[in-house]
Structures are given as structure tokens and as C-alpha cells.
Homo-oligomer: A and B are copies of this chain.
Amino acid sequence: MTEHPDAPRSRRERPAKPALSRNGIVATAVALVRSEGLQRVTMRRLAQELDTGPASLYVYVRNTAELHAAVLDDLLGSVDLTPVTTPGDWQDRLIRILGSYGDVLFEHPGLAQSALVARPSGERYLDLVEAVLALLAEGGVPGDRAAWALDLLLQFATATAAEHAPRAGAGSDESDRAEEWDALAAVLRGTAADTHPHVAALGADLLAGSGEERLDWGFRVLLNGVLHTPR
């Protein structure tokens, strides 16, 4: 109303520093996570991006854990929930949704790690929960089991993604991971058959299979298990 067309001409230099707000902070954090990865999204770095000091963020965000939860909830917006209403086997559709959830986390394993410790509870997360419960109900899973099955399924997907998080500290990556895998394979090969017969017998089979195959099998194990295990 009484707003000047080009109002406060004070000290504004280029892109105009927008006022801080929780949404703005989270949105900037999401953009930063997308472009540079979670490791770089520290309170200090985020503050710098917003052209302020880190202390200012604490007016809108309780701590780093809460920030991560908010970022994750935002990213969860890209989970494909359409299989809820698609025709076909309910287990396959449920696994497709969980797989989509897993995909999001696989791109940000550090967030998966956070999610394990501080479960998100935002809008998008709630939508995901609703979708999973809807399909479990469609499959005839009793309510009391569905409640716990939900956690089992999401925890499995989350933990599997978290396994790929970079270890803190010095930048490692593919090479480190491969090295680790080789080391583990060597340990297994070197395991004496007389002290660890079962390990020796299975040998390389213990490491067989792609992550995707294992994930899919794990989901089916959980679903079959839920169907066969009353409380």
C-alpha cells in the first residue's frame, strides 16, 4: 500500500540480500546439498552463502540435525509415490516406492545417516509413510504388524544408503571403497577352514551380488517375514 516502488535504496550491491527466514535457509541448504554435497553444507558455509554469520542461522534452526532433517524432507519430494494407485502386485508396487526412496538417499548417503539418528517428520515424509501403510493394508497386513513393518522397511532402505556415506575427515572416494572391499575379500580368502569353517565354505559368496540385487532381496525377505510373523 504505502510501499515505495523502489524502496530501501540503502546498501544493496547486486543480487539484493534477501531477508532470512527458515524456508529461505532450508531452500539454500537444499540447493547447496544438490550442488556440492552434504559435507560442504555446514552452518558456517551456509551462513556464508546467505551473506551472514553462522549465529544468525540459530534464530531459525535449532541445530545441524534439525537442518539435515528439513533438507531431507524437502528432497523426499522427489520420491515417486505413484505406484500406490497403480494396478499390479502390491508387493512389487511397494518395493518400487521403497526403491525410489532409496534412490534419493543413495544420492545423499550422509542424509541417510542423519535420518537414522533423527527420523524426519515433515510433510513429505508423512506422505511416504502414508503410501507404505496404504500398500501394506492393501496386502492385508494387520495394522499392528504394519506399524512395525513400516519402520523395518524404511530403516533397511535408510541403513543401506547410509553404508555408502563417506567417512568423515580427508576426502576419500571410489578408490578408498574399492581398497576396503579388496581388504575384506583378502581377509575372507585368508580365513582358515579349521577355525572358521562356515566362513571358509562360503568364501567369496559372502560378497556376491550387486547392491541392487541385495536390496531387492532384502525387501522381499522383510515382506515375506512380516506376512509370516505375528506379534
Contacts and interface: CB of A to CB of B under 8 A. Distances in A.
A11 interface: no
A1 interface: no
Given A208-B147, A220-B225, A199 B167 contact: no
Interface residues of A, number: 67
Nearest to A186: B121
Contacts of A163: 116-117, 155
Interface string A117-161: 111010000110110011001000001101111111001101110
Interface of A: 63-65, 113, 116-119, 121, 126-127, 129-130, 133-134, 137, 143-144, 146-152, 155-156, 158-160, 162-165, 167-170, 180, 183-184, 187, 191, 195-199, 201-202, 205-206, 208-209, 214, 217-218, 220-226, 228-229, 231
